[in-house]
Amino acid sequence: MSTPAEHLAAVVRDEGRRVLATLVRITGSLAVAEDAVSEAVVAALAHWPRSGVPDNPRAWLTTVARNKALDIVRREAGRSAKEREAANLALLKQDWSNSDQDSVGDDLLRLVFTCCHPTLSVEAQVALSLRTLCGLATADVARLMLVPEATMAKRLTRAKKKIATANIPYRVPDSAELPQRLEAVATTVYLLFTAGHLGGETLVRPQLCDEAIRLARLMIDLMPDEPSLQGLLALMLFTDSRRATRTDDSGGLVRLEDQDRSRWNREAIEEGMQWMDSALRRNDTQPSRYTIQAAIAACHSGAATYADTDWPRIVVLYDALAVVENTPIVALNRGVAIGESQGPAAGLDALDAIESLTGHHLWHACRAVMLDRLGRAEEARAARTTALTLDPSPAERAFLRAQLDSPSHPDQHRGEQI
């Protein structure tokens, strides 16, 4: 359960991200929009604890950010008086009353395409997406991408300057341009969902999950015959169907084995099955990574109980996924599935073969499960202790500490797919 301060910060963060998308359209400048929204957020965090959260926090933030943007433009000494006057007039003439959900959705989609412009490097696209769409702090983006914070700050600054100097348009591209943007945009939307699904201070940020699913639907409207987008939407629906059961009343992590499946969103699962089937029918070659991941998620969603999970099929699907996306995280999930299908010794062997993840907390946490099931309790405890030193999220940290404090429940991480 979040505290009032955490709830306030979450409202400001999530609404601020939407205001940023709108402000970029109005000002035509990502840099100006970010500065203005940052100042508006500071104002909100100063005023709302005393006055209370307004009925329409987005409108409040938008109004304040608009005024801040005007101030920023006026402060730009490099502009001539005539240019400043024109910019101010353009801002003042904008219709700020149109803040309905549809227009906000369109603004966010435009921001996705701006972040994913092909003239930017893949690293810059991902960093900008995490920073602007997910609302992550620069330090958090740096941590996710395994670079120093100063390096990430410079990377983000260069990307924003390139958007400005290259005059990258803030719009949804023409149909002919869509295919070359597909992979980057799909990755961005999934990153947005992942940020909401994995959370931070809290395990789940539902606003980000909802936004990602909405953007995926908009993308399917733009490219209705693209199977990878259908697979992406299916994957997110399957994963999101478990949202209400992933945490307990205090916000703690609930393992997959212990989730109340009667509370899973059956409507989302049924829709996910439809999109996955459509994606598989439309694939005439290799299914996309999202479609294969959706098929894995469908194995969990379709099992009446945890014991009914078809782990051998999941292992086969991870083998197929490794052909498309041969990453250490895929290998980690495959190792967990092997442990469930073939036993902990086989699972431990599969995990130990992933040398590149020895610095990742999830590798140690998953090894601990296999070690516990093999009766090697001291080694399991050492693995969990190491995992705690490797920067897990707050929710994961609490979960790992609970495991260490409850030796009678050694299987805490069992079966939870990463």
What's phi and psi for 247, nearest 5 deg? -130, 155
More confident residue, 230 or 84: 230
Q: What is the pLDDT of residue 126?
A: 82
Work out the percent of the chain whose per-residue pLDDT is above 70: 86
Tell me how far apart the alpha carbons of residues 280 and 285 are, in angstroms, rounded to a whole number. Answer: 10
Give helix 361-373 / helix 394-405 axis angle, nearest 10°: 30
The pTM of the full predicted model, rounded to 2 decimals, is 0.79
Q: What is the pLDDT of residue 351?
A: 97
More confident residue, 263 or 131: 263
pLDDT at 21 over 90: no
Highest mean pLDDT among 6-10, 40-44, 100-104, 318-322: 318-322
Q: What is the mean pLDDT of residues 326-338?
A: 95
* Residue whose token pair is 């379709």: 302
Q: What is the mean pLDDT of residues 207-216?
A: 87
pLDDT at 417 over 50: no
**In the CATH hierarchy, which fold is given to the domain comprising 318-418?**
1.25.40
Cα–Cα nearest to 65, from 88, 37, 84: 37
Q: What is the mean pLDDT of residues 247-261?
A: 86
Write the pLDDT tens digit of every residue in 131-144: 887 777 787 777 66
Q: Are 135 and 34 in contact (CB under 8 A)?
A: no
Highest mean pLDDT among 129-143, 184-198, 363-377, 380-394: 363-377
Q: What is the dihedral of CA 14, 17, 18, 22, to 10 degrees?
A: 160
Q: What is the CA radius of gyration of the chain?
A: 23
SS (H, E, C) 5-59: HHHHHHHHHHHHHHHHHHHHHHHCCHHHHHHHHHHHHHHHHHHHHHHCCCCCHHH
Tokens representing residue 3 in the block: 């505290």
Write the pLDDT tens digit of every residue in 63-117: 888 888 888 877 765 555 555 555 554 554 554 444 444 444 578 788 888 888 8
What's phi and psi for 224, nearest 5 deg? -65, -15
